[in-house]
Structure 1
Amino acid sequence: MYESFFNYLKKFSSEPLTEDDKVIFARGFKAYKLRKRQYFLQAGDVCANFAFITRGAMRRYTVDDRSTEHIDMLAVEDWWMGDRESFAVGTPSIYHIDACEDTEMLLLSRSESIKFRSIPVWCEMLYQLDLNNNIASQQRIVASVSLSAENRYLDFITRYPEFESRFPQHLIASYLGITKDTLSRIKRKILYK
C-alpha cells in the first residue's frame, strides 16, 4: 500500500525518495479501508483526515433541500479525497464522501501533514497538486457555464476515460449536472453518429 504512494511521489521530483523520507511518510499515514457505500465523511463533521486512494473509487457530494445529490468530485487510485476547507480550517464540512467500490487508502491527519514540510518532494507535490486543482476547477466552471450537456460529457470522457467503466451512469450524470436520462440520450446519439 505504501509502495503505491512512494511511486506516486516519484512523479513530482527528479530526486529519489530517501529511506528516511519513506520512514517518515510510513509513520505519518495510516492504512484504512472502506466497504462500498461506507462513509468517509458526512456533512456536518470536520474532515480530520485526507485520504490518498491506493485501491478503489470514491465520490464527494452535497445534498440539496429536495434530497438530490450533487457530485462535485469522483476519485480513483492515485487521487486524494477529502474536504480541503474543513481539513485546513476545522469547519464542519458541507460534503458527504463515500466509497463507490471497496476502497483502500492511506489517511493523513493535519498534524501529521505538517511534519512533512521539510521533505522537498512533499512540497513539490503540494505545489503541483494546487496548480492542477486550480486548472481543473477553472475548466470545470467554464464547461458548466458554456458547454452543452453533450460537450460536457465528451470533455469528461476525454479527461477521465477510466471513469466511464468505474462509476455508474447516474453518478456520472450527477457529476455533469444532468439527469441519467439525458446522459443516456447523449450516449445513444454519440453511438449512432
Structure 2
Amino acid sequence: MKEFNSYLNDWDYSSLKKLIQEKGEYQTYQKKDFFILQNETSHFIGWVESGVFQYTYIDEEGMEHIVGYAFQDEFVCDYSSLMRGTLSLVNIQAITDCTVCILSRHDIINYWEMNYDTQQYGRLAAESLFEMIYKQLLDSYCTPEIRYLKLMKRCPNLKEVIPLKSIASYLGVTPETVSHIRKKILFNQKS
C-alpha cells in the first residue's frame, strides 16, 4: 500500500528501517490494541512488519475521524509528538493483528544528531511528511468525488483492505456519499 503514504516515495528510508530493526525490539499488537492514545506523549517509532494501523482524531464533540493509516513495510508513529515531546493529536490503533519493530524516541533523536548526513536525513523525512499532509489539506478543497477518484487512482486496492465506512470517514463524507460516487462511476463506465 505504499501508494497511500506518499512520503515513502520521496526518500530512501532504508538506513532508518535498518536502524529500527537492529536496535529496536519486536512487539505484537492484537486487533484494537493502541500504539498511542490521543493526548499521550509518543515515545516510539515503529516499522510495521505485518498488519495495518488506523490513525483517528477525536474532536471536541467526541466524533471520531479517520485521518490516516500505516500498512506493512511502513513507519507508524505520531511524528510530531515523537520529535517534539508533545501530546499526540491522534490515536493509532491496530485494525488487524500487527507485528512492529519499535525504537525509542531517545534512539531516533540520537541517530538524527549523529552527523550532518543523519541530520539531513531527518530533515528530509520531516519535509516529506509535511508535503504529504499539505497535499491532503489542498485535496480537502476538492469535491468528494474528486477526492475519492484521486484516492482510488493512487491506491486501487484500498477498498479491498479498508471498509467503505472507513474510506468515507477518511474522505470526510458519509458512507452513502461514497456509495453514490461509486454508482455514478459505474454508470459512467457503462455509458
- For the superposition of Structure 1 and Structure 2, which TM-score range results when normalised by the shorter chain? 0.7 to 0.9
How far apart, CA to CA, are the structure 2 residues paired with 1:141 and 1:93? 19
User: Residue 140 of structure 2: SS of its match in structure 1?
Assistant: helix
Structure 1 contact 100–167 (Cα < 8 Å) conserved: no
- Residues 1:12 and 2:4 aligned together: no
| Alignment-derived partner of residue 138 in structure 2 | 142
| Alignment-derived partner of residue 179 in structure 1 | 174
| Alignment-derived partner of residue 4 in structure 1 | none
Structure 2 contact 42–78 (Cα < 8 Å) conserved: yes
| 1:154-169 to 2 correspondences below 5 Å | 154-169=149-164
How far apart, CA to CA, are the structure 2 residues paired with 1:80 and 1:96? 15
User: Per-residue deviation at 1:137?
Assistant: 1.5
Change (3 A) 1:148 1:70: same
TM-score normalised per structure 2? 0.80
Q: Deviations over 1:140-179 (max 9, x none)?
A: 111101x110000011112223322111111111111111
Moved over 6 A (4+): none
User: Residue 32 of structure 1: SS of its match in structure 2?
Assistant: strand
| 1:87-102 to 2 correspondences below 5 Å | 87-102=82-97
What do you get for the CA RMSD once the two structures are aligned?
A: 2.6
Amino acid across the alignment from 1:133: L
Amino acid across the alignment from 2:150: D
Structure 1 contact 12–121 (Cα < 8 Å) conserved: no
TM-score normalised per structure 1? 0.79
Change (3 A) 1:25 1:68: closer
User: Per-residue deviation at 1:128?
Assistant: 4.1
User: Per-residue deviation at 1:121?
Assistant: 8.1
Higher mean C-alpha deviation, range 25-34 or range 52-61: 25-34
Amino acid across the alignment from 1:129: A
How far apart, CA to CA, are the structure 2 residues paired with 1:129 and 1:163? 24
| 1:102-117 to 2 correspondences below 5 Å | 102-117=97-112
Unaligned runs of 5+ in 1: 1-7
How far apart, CA to CA, are the structure 2 residues paired with 1:65 and 1:50? 27
Structure 2 contact 20–102 (Cα < 8 Å) conserved: no
Identical aligned residues as a percent: 24
